[in-house]
């Protein structure tokens, strides 16, 4: 079945460095992908909606200069956490919808990326 | 804005039924979802219901929707230890790029 691949699954980095997370739709095209953040024992918070070929739409309170989103193709969106700090440590999850099928079950989630900033 | 609320914890005895409740505020919701998340993993879609339905059953899972009260529930029959996880309720309004709003998640634990 359709799969969303998210990479890496976990990353440890030093404070001040940048980290890139990739989200790929493997066998379907996705004009729209979503990036979520999840703190321990908390819910998923929508960070931004990634739109292929145009700028991402960020939710209120999310710094667009800190969380750079690029959606250059119909199968790939990237989230770059710039100048990461320990408070950015979190679980990041992407999701993508099969653009050819609007049905509810055609939204797929990646397996998530655990980011730890030292 | 849209809001989805759930209780944080539920403990049930193995073999009993689990009922997880959720309330939402967006009257334009079209789809309502139940996701399962196991530790350190992504989200697994368990089931969903379209807003014009009252009930949906899928094997051990039964979803009930009261659109008037904006209340959604998930019943898991014959709860097993493998059902231990966090269950998220989520709602989506209607548009070509609708975002999904998640509840806080209910942690289900199973007692022997």
CA-based nearest residue in chain A for residue B35: A109
Contact B41 A43 (CB under 8 A): no
Mutate which: B35, B47, B89, B100, vs A, most A CBs within 10 A: B100
Query: pLDDT of B36-90, one tens digit each?
Result: 998 877 788 899 999 889 999 999 999 999 999 999 999 999 999 999 999 999 9
Say what the pLDDT of residue B98 is. Answer: 66
Q: Cα A115–B34–A96 angle (5° rounding)?
A: 55
pLDDT tens digits for A6-25? 999 999 999 999 999 999 99
A105 CB neighbours in chain B (<8 A) are 45, 48
Kindly list the distances between the CA atom of residue B72 and the CA atoms of B37, B47, B75, in Å, as whole numbers in the listed order: 18, 12, 10
Instruction: Return the beta strands (E) in A1-118 as ranges.
Output: 4-7, 10-13, 19-25, 32-38, 44-51, 57-58, 67-73, 76-81, 90-97, 107-109, 113-117
Lowest mean pLDDT among A57-66, B39-48, B92-101: B92-101
Taking residues A79-90, report their average pLDDT: 96
- For residue B89, how many other CB atoms are within 10 A of its CB? 27
């Amino acid at each position: 079945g359709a799969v969303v691949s998210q990479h890496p699954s976990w990353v440890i980095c030093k404070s001040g460095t940048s980290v890139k997370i990739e989200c790929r739709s493997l066998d379907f095209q996705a004009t729209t992908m979503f990036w979520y953040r999840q703190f321990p024992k908390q819910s998923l918070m929508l960070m931004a909606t990634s739109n292929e070929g145009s700028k991402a739409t960020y939710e209120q309170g999310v710094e667009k200069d800190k969380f750079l989103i690029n959606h250059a193709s119909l199968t790939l969106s990237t989230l770059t956490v710039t100048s990461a700090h320990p408070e950015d440590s979190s679980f990041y999850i992407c999701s993508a919808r099969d653009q050819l099928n609007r049905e509810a079950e055609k939204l797929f989630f990646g397996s998530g990326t655990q980011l730890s900033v030292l | 804005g849209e809001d989805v609320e759930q209780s944080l914890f539920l403990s049930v005895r193995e073999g009993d039924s689990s009922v997880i409740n959720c309330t939402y505020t967006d009257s334009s919701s079209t789809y309502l979802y139940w996701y399962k998340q196991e530790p350190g993993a992504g989200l697994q879609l368990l089931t969903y219901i379209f807003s014009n339905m009252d009930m949906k059953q899928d094997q051990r899972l039964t979803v009930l929707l009261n659109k008037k009260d904006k209340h959604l529930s998930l019943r898991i029959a014959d709860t097993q230890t493998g059902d231990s996880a966090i269950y998220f309720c989520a709602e989506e309004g209607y548009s070509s790029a609708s975002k999904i709003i998640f509840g806080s998640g209910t942690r289900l634990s199973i007692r022997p």
